[in-house]
Amino acid sequence: MSMLSALAHAEAMETMAAVPLTAFRHYRLSDRPLVIIPLTMAGEAGAPLAAMLGTAKRDMTLLVVPQPRNRDQRFAFAADLGRIVMDYINSHRQDRRGEGERSRYTDVPQILVPNHGGVKALADLGRMCRFRSTSGPYAVPDVVPEVGMWLTFLVDTAEMAGTSMLLPLTAMLTEHWATGQSTLEDQNLASLMAWIAPPAGVSVQQALDEAENPDVCPPAGPATSPEFDNRDLAPAIKRFDTAHALGDPHALAAAQRELTDLIAEQIKPTWRMIWAAISLLRPVPEAPQTTQRLDRDCRLFTNYSDYRDAGGLPQRKRDTAVGAARRLSQLERALADFEADMAFDDPFVLADRRSGGEAFAGTVVETEPNRIAITAKNRRVPRPRATVRTSDPLRLAPGTKLVSPSMPAGHKAVIVSVLPEDDATLVTVEVTAGMGRARTPRPDTVPALDQHIAYLPDPGWRPKPNFPDSDRTPWTHSVTPDRPDDSGVPEDAAAEEWGHEN
């Protein structure tokens, strides 16, 4: 946590009110997101209990598994949920523009879940469904493996910074607001909303007390509270099992209605809270470069859609060594780009990075606007220089490439020298791009004397790292013939194999 972030959290604790951390919302918020609230059964790894989902506050569907240990009921639940999810995904596979490799869908689906636990629940559901067979003794409807593969794709993209196809609402809220509680406590949607927007006439402290009471404010999932499980859920499931064993259709229907109503009481408060959070996020202006990140989402969505249309196979249970290294490289690159975009767009984020020495701002005290340099090919090119006096703590070394939100688009520079001066620092930068093609720079493309200017590191372009082919990896990272990769015991073995027991 940086100095300014810590200060914002301390201010929130002092004033007992959430403090804005950013000027913009850096994640896209769809006009028609699909909200999913998954619930899982305690003690059963990955066994679904219920889910409420829909694209509008007053248009929701509640799906319940009366007996989560029953294989047929679990797959009936997965099929019902899969049909709704796939209808929503397919509704974004209609409008496509461009030709050949540049052809892209113009919009992407967006699924919102309450917290990171909801992402984990969808990851478990995707892994459990995508390998199911649609024929044979354990046949499932065709939609089950299909939705399993799509959920796995969405969960994989959720790990990439800046993507908006699957998002936990707690992450969107904590990106914009600082509270007076810990990061772990911020994962509780109810307590987070108590800080940001307590109910009318209720203090933040009272709202926090209610958020910690599972009888007043049930957990947002994926696990239900132990008190509810022991007091209400377990007896209701037992009554359903008894009615099922007796074969009495009237008693069975009554037990199922009772169980559905019981779970609806637990999940509806979270449903209302999610839509209240969405209403809070909509007025926050969207960051300028969010549109560029939407283009990347469209490319990812289109590529996977085409892969599925071509009959692509399910994702691996585990990545190979090369696949994991390649994915890690992609995630690191996406994170660097996203952090740079946030600082470039948002003065609050830029100030946060300045407080840690990762960016700087100051006044131009000296300029060489007409400086010319000779390249290795004996060409004369403009290379103006400017010296910026800054009081920011600075940890950037000479040679660091820079971009500036204070200058026109395309402006790039590099640090030439960093010299201390009393209680300040003199940073000399050389402008390398964004001046036009003429021998003299265009007006306003070079820092002017007495101009206030800010700079931050440019993540820039970098080539993709080269990884060896799978058959050329060291024996320590390769798969032996007698133990193929996909047959390895998964970390959550129970979750992988659910559905094969009776």
- Give domain status of residue 349, yes or no: yes
Residue with tokens 């408060």: 269
Strand partners, 387: 366, 428
Residue 99 sits in the same domain as residue 145? yes
Average pLDDT over residues 191-196: 95
The string of pLDDT tens digits covering residues 273-287 is 999 999 999 999 999
The residues, ordered by sequence, that sit 6+ positions from 106 with a Cβ below 8 Å of its Cβ are: 95, 96, 97, 298
Residue 242 sits in the same domain as residue 383? no
The string of pLDDT tens digits covering residues 129-143 is 999 999 988 899 999
Range of the domain at 438: 343-457
Residue 95 sits in the same domain as residue 145? yes
Residue 445 sits in the same domain as residue 303? no
- Give residue 410's region: left, alpha or beta (phi > 0; psi -120 to 50): left
Buried b (16+ CB within 10 A) or exposed e, 262-300: bbeebbeebbebbbebbebbeebebbebbeebbebbbeb
Residue 422 sits in the same domain as residue 354? yes
- Give domain status of residue 74, yes or no: yes
- Give domain status of residue 492, yes or no: no
**Which residue, among 264, 119, 104, 283, has the nearest Cα to 197 in the 3D structure?**
283
Quick check: 417 and 407 in contact, CB under 8 A? no
User: What percent of the chain lies above the pLDDT cut of 90?
Assistant: 71
- The overall average pLDDT reported for the chain is 89
The string of pLDDT tens digits covering residues 329-385 is 999 999 999 999 999 999 999 999 999 899 999 999 999 999 999 888 888 899 999
Average pLDDT over residues 407-430: 94
Integer Cα distance of 277 and 396 in angstroms? 38
Average pLDDT over residues 217-225: 89
User: pTM, whole model, 2 decimals?
Assistant: 0.90
Q: Which of 70-84, 255-269, 303-317, 479-493 has the lowest mean pLDDT?
A: 479-493
| One-letter amino acid for residue 41 of the chain | M
Number of H helices, E strands in the chain: 14, 17
- DSSP 3-state assignment of 119? helix
Tally of domains in the chain: 2
Q: Cβ of 62: how many Cβ atoms within 10 Å?
A: 17
Residue 311 sits in the same domain as residue 366? no
- Considering only residues 302 and 138, tell me which one the structure prediction assigns the higher pLDDT: 302
Integer Cα distance of 258 and 246 in angstroms? 17
Residue 206 sits in the same domain as residue 289? yes
Provide the pLDDT for residue 378.
Answer: 85
Residue 248 sits in the same domain as residue 169? yes
Residue 347 sits in the same domain as residue 276? no
- Give domain status of residue 485, yes or no: no
- Give domain status of residue 364, yes or no: yes
Residue 207 sits in the same domain as residue 90? yes
Integer Cα distance of 5 and 177 in angstroms? 10
The residues, ordered by sequence, that sit 6+ positions from 136 with a Cβ below 8 Å of its Cβ are: none
Average pLDDT over residues 466-488: 61
Domain boundary among 440, 457, 474: 457
Buried b (16+ CB within 10 A) or exposed e, 217-231: bbbbbbbbbeebbee
Instruction: Establish how many alpha carbons lie within 13 A of residue 47's alpha carbon, considering only the half-sphere containing its beta carbon.
Output: 20
Average pLDDT over residues 230-249: 90
3-state SS string over 61-92? Answer: EEEECCCCCCHHHHHHHHHHHHHHHHHHHHCC
Residue 276 sits in the same domain as residue 160? yes
CATH assignment at residue 350: 2.40.30
Rg (CA), the chain: 27
- Give domain status of residue 81, yes or no: yes
Structure tokens at 7: 């200060």
On the question of pLDDT at 203 being above 70, the answer is yes
- Give domain status of residue 495, yes or no: no
Structure tokens at 315: 């994702």
Residue 294 sits in the same domain as residue 347? no
The string of pLDDT tens digits covering residues 384-417 is 999 999 999 999 999 999 999 999 989 999 999 9
- Give domain status of residue 501, yes or no: no
111-113 and 34-40: which strand pairing?
parallel
| One-letter amino acid for residue 375 of the chain | T
Provide the pLDDT for residue 1.
Answer: 64
Q: Angle at CA 29, nearest 5°, toward 23 and 31?
A: 135
